[in-house]
Structure 1
Amino acid sequence: MRLSTIFVLLFLSSLINAQEIDIQGHRGARGLLPENTIPAFIRAIDEGVITLELDVVITKDKQVLVSHEPYMSSLICSKPDGSPVKSVESKGLNIYEMTYEEVKSYDCGSRGNPRFGQQQKMVVSKPLLKDVIGAVEKYLDDNDLPELGYNIEIKSSEKGDNVYHPGVDEFSQIVHDLLKDKLSPDRFTIQSFDFRVLKHWHEAYPDITLVALIENTRGVESNLNDLGFIPEIYSPNYRLLNKRMVELCHSKNMKVIPWTVNELGAMERLVKMGVDGIITDYPDRAKVLRQ
């Protein structure tokens, strides 16, 4: 085979691999618009993401709310009277003790986020998951865009059970009941740091793709032993990854999708390691990986 032909084949192969990278918009596009809001998810779509990454909690009236914290964060939220939520009162503003009507009176966008200087400020409240899906699907349809995925994190912990959220079984049932009426199983994944959640879904809903979120340094084998089964996706903090770990995960038929990668140089290094996707606050930066 001629050398020029080899170069062409290698170039085409690199393009194919780049196109397969699953770019996930973290909390929509947190670096650009208020996190976990419908405008942020729409912006992520405009930036070419393949998957929308988001978090869910439960309200007092048992609705599935898109929010990273199960309370009103003092970093980004303002009370109905317009005053900022103070750090001393933040965790007392427990979403599990608030109806959705109460939740939507809090503005979690007009103050911006001091960690993200580019983020556009706007008056916006935490949305229901069903409204996010409705808005996203309508936007895709109206603009003749292809379907995308939803990577949904269930925010739970043992200490939070029946305090900030229902127990694992009830929490999972509420989320599953909503999703089964909105999306086919191939359109979403369930992720969690709480292995109790993943174990329950593995048993109760075996057709759902599961993602193990990892922030510890115990290693792949140790985490899988704790989990008790091999999930479809292994999702660690990107700083924990090396090529050997990626290869080990692939040998176990797990995809590797690290979080939260915001610098292009780090994105490119991870792609060279062989990761299957990245989760980022800046999908506008990551889209070059697919071009």
Structure 2
Amino acid sequence: MIRAISANWPALRSIALLAVLFTALPLQASDFIVIAHRGASGERPEHTLAAYERAIDQGADYIEPDLVVTKDMVLVARHENELSDTTDVAAHEEFADRKRSKTIDGRLVSGWFAEDFTLAELRTLRAKERLPSLRTKNAQFDSLYAIPTFAEILQLVEAKEAETGRRVGIYPELKHPDFLLQQGFDTVDLLVTALRQADLDDAEDAVFIQSFEVGTLRRLDTMVEVPLVLLVTPGSGPADEPALSYEEMLTPAGLAQVAKYADAIGADLRLVFNADGTPTGLAEKVHAAGLKLHGWTLRKENAFLPPALRRGSAENAAGDVPAMVALLRAAGLDGVFTDDPGLVVPAMNAGD
């Protein structure tokens, strides 16, 4: 996911409103999936094997790797193909000349890009906390972890399934696939090949594939049987379909078109709630089109929660996650992406 709940997130007017919403008929916990957003990234630097393993141990149903590609065509997990926010690349003098600017999906981005590095070169970098001012404890783990490949993530899942006897799902997102394809990197083909090799490309496998781009999902729909997810956020549209807005795509007519190539909507939570905190009815519209609805992203820190659910005055203090879980279930969602599965999973179990 690319945006956090922020000051633009709907401000719930009162705890009483929460109580009203909670009285709505919620989904059963077995129907509601918990997706570890970049792993347990509220406790470990995101997109590291440590974050994924912690999320699995905390009971997440799925782990979510964002996938970019190396110069030598290896899928690796990073939030973006630009590396400076989540690695120590800027401290590596040997890579100073790799810094450059690129226009990605209409936005000028400066930094170091995964596709300009071989896997061996990326192995010399170490992950760091992306939000150190809010997650100071996470920053204590800076420089400990390497950038994992998608193959290593699949291997971890297989090992944890054998250890626990529990099925663990994979929910990868292809980052900027159209841009990368124009640069000569076919990440769709690389992902499909990896899933086929792991025998994870059938409808019954615990896999979702997500993208903000329509063409990517249409192409995937001809290549794999696993469910596909269109990601949507307000005030924007697919990078590969500039004439479309996500708001248009979320109308009944738009959702009918989406249902021809996708199985679920992954929605920014600002599309799920009105300004007064009441549900927008998006879940009903999505379900009427035969699609599932997964929301993003639930984080524990006050900075990412609506005012009524904040606890204390510190931006980095933990707010009322169980109440937020209840609110999401009452709004009719089928799942949620969270940085904090260690809090969300118990809240789900308690609310069942």
Q: TM-score, normalised by structure 2?
A: 0.69
Provide the aligned length of Structure 1 versus Structure 2. 270
Cα RMSD for the two superposed structures: 2.7
How big is the shift at 1:97?
1.7
Q: Greater relative contact order (Cα 8 A, min sep 6): structure 1 or 2? A: 2
Residue 238 of structure 1 is matched in structure 2 by 269
Structure 2 residues not aligned, in runs of 5+: 1-24, 101-108, 236-246, 273-278, 301-320
Partners in 1 of 2:197 and 2:181 — Cα distance?
Answer: 26
Q: 1:67 to 1:183 in 2, by over 3 A?
A: farther
Residue 276 of structure 1 is matched in structure 2 by 334
Which residue identity lines up with residue 215 of structure 1 in the other structure? T
Match of 2:176 among 145, 153, 156: 156
How big is the shift at 1:283?
0.8
Q: Deviations over 1:177-201 (max 9, x none)?
A: 0111114231211100112211111
How big is the shift at 1:290?
2.5
Match of 2:141 among 105, 118, 121: 121
Q: 1:138 to 1:246 in 2, by over 3 A?
A: same
Which residue identity lines up with residue 159 of structure 2 in the other structure? K
> Do residues 171 (structure 1) and 187 (structure 2) align?
yes
Residue 208 of structure 1 is matched in structure 2 by 226
**Counterpart mapping for 1:134-153 below 5 A:** 134-142=155-163, 144-153=164-173
Aligned-partner SS, 1:137: helix
How big is the shift at 1:243?
5.0
Q: Deviations over 1:39-62 (max 9, x none)?
A: 000000111100111111111111
Q: Deviations over 1:21-69 (max 9, x none)?
A: 1001000011110101100000001111001111111111111111111
> Do residues 29 (structure 1) and 45 (structure 2) align?
no
How big is the shift at 1:111?
8.3
Partners in 2 of 1:237 and 1:177 — Cα distance?
Answer: 29
Identity rate, percent: 22
Contact 1:201 1:208 in 2 (8 A): no
Contact 2:31 2:334 in 1 (8 A): yes
Deviates more, 1:121-130 or 1:228-237: 228-237
Contact 1:199 1:227 in 2 (8 A): no
Aligned-partner SS, 1:258: strand
Aligned-partner SS, 1:212: strand
Q: Deviations over 1:56-100 (max 9, x none)?
A: 111111111111111212x332139668x99x7684422112110
How big is the shift at 1:132?
1.1
Contact 2:269 2:296 in 1 (8 A): yes
